[in-house]
């Protein structure tokens, strides 16, 4: 009888099979097909067959119903197997470890975030806070596709390990930094680690959940860990600063705590990966080395892996273009306005734009395996959903970077109070996101939540403009600012939770990791652009306001006040100098907030380009795969105990084994 060629999917002759076995196999396949059709499941060609090439002993059959192409990467194959084959107790342990590690990551982030103005001020570079932030975001942009690609190649466990390593290096470097250069370098390591953990967390959840449940489970680790961390973290930070321990130990202690916190997750991930490879269902075959031969020279191997498989040139172009374009925008200001007349300074910006254009041309036309797969960007849903996040984060970054400093200088809040008000957006996002996921599960639709969330976010931005400057030196109360940030957070939870599930649902499973990375990377791109715009406004407006408003005897201190937040806070409340500082901060951030509102308006148009999908479209497919994995386990056990497999209908080149129900 004809069977399927494992390479071409075309019928081939199996002349060595005897007629009796032939008829037996046909009859068994027909029974399986009839039962599947009655159950309304998958067609004959997708059921009950698995192929083994007897001439290739290392080749292990692809699980039936799981369309893993030959070019699928190692991590993708493991993820597909684990999703349907691992025991429930392992899933409980894995998710428990994931939540514990997320709590540790979030607590460290919340606590250390309070120290940032004090770190930069200790180097007399508070005005360079936006530059450090842009460098951080550029590192994140590059890290998203790199970590996603590496996790597809080497597996999720190694992806988590890479992220952990970079986070540890970041805390050690920050604690030991003595200048802004070392601090910025540590931020780069931290950005790569944070991005690596975030993308691995979301990809792992996408690997192990259906579309219906993904919105809920994608929110749970962050929700459970973020809400307590926001307040515990700020309390820890305030005590570190008040008790004279200093920000260095505030960072350094996490380098000691963090390895113990993340070790359970790393151990579980490696155990599951080893379980998948040793269970007999899958044979390790790293796709990135598939085109590298042992006889090739070392230079050819390096060329194949670095230049072709990882698209090093494309990544370099993206990094260089973003750096040359965004960083110069943050280095201007009243004290550095001469830079706009410097031809070299202008040339950096122009060259950055040109290099970004070259990057796009390279990845579209020449890269065999592009750093950013533009085929996904051609899908209107992926493109529109990603741009929604990009515009939102661009608008938000214009104001939020200096919002905590504004609350302390103009609102007389403590560092902890300012951080807690600022974090209201994140609390509301995390609280509402699981409920959005549950609502999506029962409605089986997602786009509706984007239609509600986008206008709500823009309303929050509009209220923020009014609360930042209520005229005559008055600003909004804590309740007012919290209200505006809660509206932003709820709106973001509605549109981001829904659009993330949608973009993962419209692409193949093998593209989920990279698509998720692009989704988050464009948000970071938007944030980087927003930080550059906000920093440029801040650095140009605030020095002018200080020089115009400060009493004559304090004008000489304008530059120091501009560069150092603690210097600004030293002036007593209601003193002429402090009143001038208050009005300067208010007028500056008001301009930033108006720009924020303007940038958010295009989101009202983009949301209509996101298509809707049924979230239960993969339920039948998932159920079929689970049954087939269980059936395969039974067949593997049976074949292991069978002393004479050749009497069970084995064909010389390709074996066609029918699956029992």
- DSSP readout, 302-349? HIIIIIIIS-HHHHHHHHHHHHHHHHHHHT-SGGGGGGGG-HHHHHHH
Same domain as 273, residue 385: no
- Number of domains comprising the chain: 2
Does 589 reside within a domain?
yes
174 or 509, which is more confident:
174
Q: How confident is the model at residue 480 (pLDDT cuts 50, 70, 90)?
A: very high
pLDDT of residue 290: 54
Does 365 reside within a domain?
no
pLDDT of residue 489: 94
Between the alpha carbon of residue 580 and those of residues 260, 550, 567, the distances in Å are 48, 5, 14
Q: Is the pLDDT of residue 82 over 60?
A: no
CA 205 distance to own-chain centroid: 12
Between the alpha carbon of residue 222 and those of residues 157, 164, 444, 505, the distances in Å are 19, 17, 23, 21
Same domain as 380, residue 280: no
- In whole angstroms, give the CA distance from residue 240 to residue 277: 46
Tell me the average pLDDT across 267-288. Answer: 60
Tell me which residue of 209, 264, 222, 270 sits closest to 93, measured CA to CA: 264
Q: Is the pLDDT of residue 60 over 50?
A: no
Strand-pair partners of 52: 655
Helices (H), ranges, 401-511? 403-409, 415-422, 424-443, 447-468, 478-505
Q: What angle do CA 584, 586, 591 make, to 5 degrees?
A: 100
Hey, what are 151's tokens? 């996790």
For residue 12, give the H/E element and its range: strand 11-12
Lowest mean pLDDT of 86-100, 136-150, 262-276, 632-646, name the range.
Answer: 632-646
Tell me the average pLDDT across 447-465. Answer: 95
pLDDT of residue 603: 96
Q: Is the pLDDT of residue 135 over 70?
A: yes
Count CB-CB contacts under 10 A for residue 118: 18
pLDDT of residue 127: 59
Instruction: Give the HSE-up count for residue 582: Cα atoms under 13 Å, Cβ half-sphere.
Output: 20
Average pLDDT, the chain: 75
Instruction: Give the HSE-up count for residue 590: Cα atoms under 13 Å, Cβ half-sphere.
Output: 18
Same domain as 514, residue 389: yes
Lowest mean pLDDT of 82-86, 313-317, 354-358, name the range.
Answer: 82-86
> Residues 108, 254: contact at Cβ < 8 Å?
yes
pLDDT of residue 499: 93
> Residues 153, 286: contact at Cβ < 8 Å?
yes
Count CB-CB contacts under 10 A for residue 509: 18
Q: Is the pLDDT of residue 215 over 80?
A: yes
306 or 72, which is more confident:
306
* Pairs from 434-439 (Cβ < 8 Å, separation ≥ 24): 434/216, 434/219, 434/220, 434/223, 436/215, 436/219, 436/493, 436/494, 436/497, 436/498, 437/213, 437/214, 437/215, 437/216, 437/217, 437/218, 437/219, 437/497, 438/215, 438/216
Lowest mean pLDDT of 69-83, 296-310, 404-418, name the range.
Answer: 69-83
Q: For the chain, how are helix, strand and coil distributed in percent, rounded to 5? A: 75, 0, 20
Lowest mean pLDDT of 147-156, 316-325, 562-571, name the range.
Answer: 147-156
Does 583 reside within a domain?
yes
pLDDT of residue 28: 42
Q: How confident is the model at residue 582 (pLDDT cuts 50, 70, 90)?
A: very high
Same domain as 396, residue 277: no
Q: Is the pLDDT of residue 185 over 80?
A: yes
pLDDT of residue 427: 86
Does 21 reside within a domain?
no
Same domain as 83, residue 215: yes
Q: Is the pLDDT of residue 12 over 50?
A: no
Tell me the average pLDDT across 557-580. Answer: 88
Residue range 242-260, pLDDT digits in tens: 777 788 888 888 888 888 8
Q: Is the pLDDT of residue 559 over 80?
A: yes
Q: Is the pLDDT of residue 333 over 70?
A: no
pLDDT of residue 40: 41
CA 153 distance to own-chain centroid: 17
Q: What is the DSSP letter of 52?
A: E
Does 394 reside within a domain?
yes
% of the chain exceeding 70 in pLDDT: 70
pLDDT of residue 128: 63
Same domain as 598, residue 460: yes
Does 295 reside within a domain?
no
- In whole angstroms, give the CA distance from residue 480 to residue 483: 5
pLDDT of residue 546: 92
Tell me the average pLDDT across 395-414. Answer: 90
CB within 8 Å of 150: residues ≥ 6 apart: 158, 159, 162
Domain termination residue (choose one: 284, 310, 345): 284
Same domain as 105, residue 251: yes
Q: How confident is the model at residue 27 (pLDDT cuts 50, 70, 90)?
A: very low
Residue range 256-272, pLDDT digits in tens: 888 888 888 888 878 77
Q: Is the pLDDT of residue 280 over 50?
A: no
pLDDT of residue 153: 64
pTM across the whole model: 0.68
Same domain as 407, residue 527: yes
Burial class (CB in 10 A: 0-12, 13-18, 19+), 108: buried
Tell me which residue of 416, 433, 516, 492 sits closest to 114, measured CA to CA: 416
Does 657 reside within a domain?
no
pLDDT of residue 26: 44
Lowest mean pLDDT of 28-37, 229-238, 406-415, 457-466, name the range.
Answer: 28-37
Residues 229-250 as b or e (16 or more Cβ within 10 Å = b): bbeebbebbbebbeeeeebbeb
223 or 593, which is more confident:
593
Helices (H), ranges, 39-87? 74-85
Lowest mean pLDDT of 142-156, 275-289, 411-425, 611-625, name the range.
Answer: 275-289
pLDDT of residue 52: 34
Helix 380-400 and helix 576-600: axis angle, to 10°? Answer: 170
Same domain as 215, residue 94: yes
CA 405 distance to own-chain centroid: 27
Q: What is the CATH number of the domain that holds 79?
A: 1.20.1250.20
Q: How confident is the model at residue 17 (pLDDT cuts 50, 70, 90)?
A: very low
- Per the structure, the complete domain to which residue 129 belongs is given by 73-284
Domain termination residue (choose one: 284, 313, 334): 284
Between the alpha carbon of residue 21 and those of residues 11, 28, 650, 656, the distances in Å are 18, 11, 9, 11
Same domain as 521, residue 387: yes
- In whole angstroms, give the CA distance from residue 210 to residue 202: 13
pLDDT of residue 376: 65
Does 209 reside within a domain?
yes
Residue range 595-636, pLDDT digits in tens: 999 999 999 999 999 988 888 765 555 555 555 555 555 555
Q: Is the pLDDT of residue 224 over 90?
A: no
C-alpha Rg value of the chain to the nearest Å: 28
Domain termination residue (choose one: 267, 284, 301): 284
Same domain as 268, residue 405: no
Q: Is the pLDDT of residue 160 over 90?
A: no
């Amino acid at each position: 009888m004809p069977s399927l060629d494992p390479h071409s999917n075309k019928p081939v002759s199996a002349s060595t099979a005897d007629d009796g076995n032939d008829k037996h196999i046909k009859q068994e396949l027909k029974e399986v097909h009839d039962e599947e059709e009655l159950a309304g499941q998958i067609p004959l060609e997708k059921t009950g067959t698995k192929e083994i090439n007897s001439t290739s002993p290392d080749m292990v059959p692809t699980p039936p119903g799981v369309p893993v192409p030959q070019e699928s990467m190692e991590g993708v194959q493991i993820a597909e197997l684990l999703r349907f084959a691992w025991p429930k107790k392992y899933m409980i342990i894995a998710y428990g470890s994931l939540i514990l590690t997320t709590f540790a990551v979030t607590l460290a982030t919340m606590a250390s975030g309070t120290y940032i103005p004090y770190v930069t001020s200790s180097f007399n570079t508070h005005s360079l806070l936006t530059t450090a932030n842009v460098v951080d975001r550029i590192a994140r942009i590059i890290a998203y596709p790199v970590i996603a690609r590496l996790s597809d190649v080497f597996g999720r466990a190694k992806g988590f390990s890479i992220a952990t390593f970079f986070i540890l290096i970041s805390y050690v470097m920050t604690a030991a930094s003595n200048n802004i250069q070392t601090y910025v370098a540590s931020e780069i390591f931290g950005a790569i680690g944070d991005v690596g953990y975030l993308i691995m967390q979301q990809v792992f959840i996408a690997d192990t959940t259906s579309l219906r449940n993904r919105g809920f489970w994608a929110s749970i680790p962050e929700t459970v860990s973020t809400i307590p961390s926001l307040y515990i973290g700020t309390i820890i930070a305030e005590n570190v600063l008040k008790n004279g321990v200093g920000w260095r130990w505030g960072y350094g202690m996490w380098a000691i705590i963090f390895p113990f916190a993340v070790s359970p997750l790393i151990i579980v991930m490696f155990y599951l990966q080893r379980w998948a490879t040793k269970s007999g269902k899958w044979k390790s075959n790293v796709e990135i080395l598939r085109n590298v031969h042992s006889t090739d020279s070392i230079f050819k191997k390096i060329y194949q892996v670095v230049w072709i498989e990882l698209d090093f040139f494309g990544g370099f172009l993206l990094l260089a273009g973003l750096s040359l374009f965004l960083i110069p925008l943050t280095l201007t200001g009243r004290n550095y306005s001469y830079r706009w007349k410097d031809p070299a300074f202008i040339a950096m910006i122009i060259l950055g734009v040109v290099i970004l254009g070259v990057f796009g041309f390279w990845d579209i036309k020449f890269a065999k395996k592009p750093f950013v797969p533009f085929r996904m960007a051609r899908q209107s849903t992926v493109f529109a959903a990603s741009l929604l996040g990009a515009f939102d984060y661009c608008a938000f970054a214009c104001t939020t970077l200096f919002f905590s400093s504004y609350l302390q200088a103009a609102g007389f809040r403590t560092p902890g109070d300012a951080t807690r008000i600022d974090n209201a957006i994140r609390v509301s996002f995390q609280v509402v996101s699981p409920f959005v996921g549950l609502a999506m599960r029962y409605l089986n639709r997602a786009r509706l939540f984007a239609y509600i969330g986008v206008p709500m976010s823009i309303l929050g931005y509009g209220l923020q403009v009014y609360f930042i400057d209520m005229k005559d030196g008055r600003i909004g109360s804590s309740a007012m600012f919290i209200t505006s940030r809660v509206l932003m957070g709820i709106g973001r939870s509605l549109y981001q939770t829904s659009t993330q599930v949608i973009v993962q649902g419209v692409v193949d499973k093998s593209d989920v990791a990279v698509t998720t990375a692009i989704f988050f990377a464009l948000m970071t791109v938007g944030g980087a652009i927003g930080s550059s715009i906000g920093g440029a406004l801040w650095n140009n407006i605030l020095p002018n306001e200080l020089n115009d408003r400060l009493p004559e005897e304090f004008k000489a201190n304008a530059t120091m006040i501009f560069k150092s937040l603690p210097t600004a806070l030293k002036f007593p409340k209601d003193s002429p100098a402090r009143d001038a500082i208050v009005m300067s901060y208010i007028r500056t951030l008001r301009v930033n907030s108006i720009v924020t509102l303007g940038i958010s308006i295009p989101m009202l148009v983009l949301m209509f380009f996101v298509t809707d999908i049924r979230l239960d479209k993969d339920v039948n497919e998932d159920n079929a795969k689970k049954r087939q994995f269980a059936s395969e386990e039974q067949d593997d056990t049976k074949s292991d105990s069978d002393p004479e497999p050749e009497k069970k209908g084995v064909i010389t080149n390709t074996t066609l084994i029918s699956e029992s129900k």
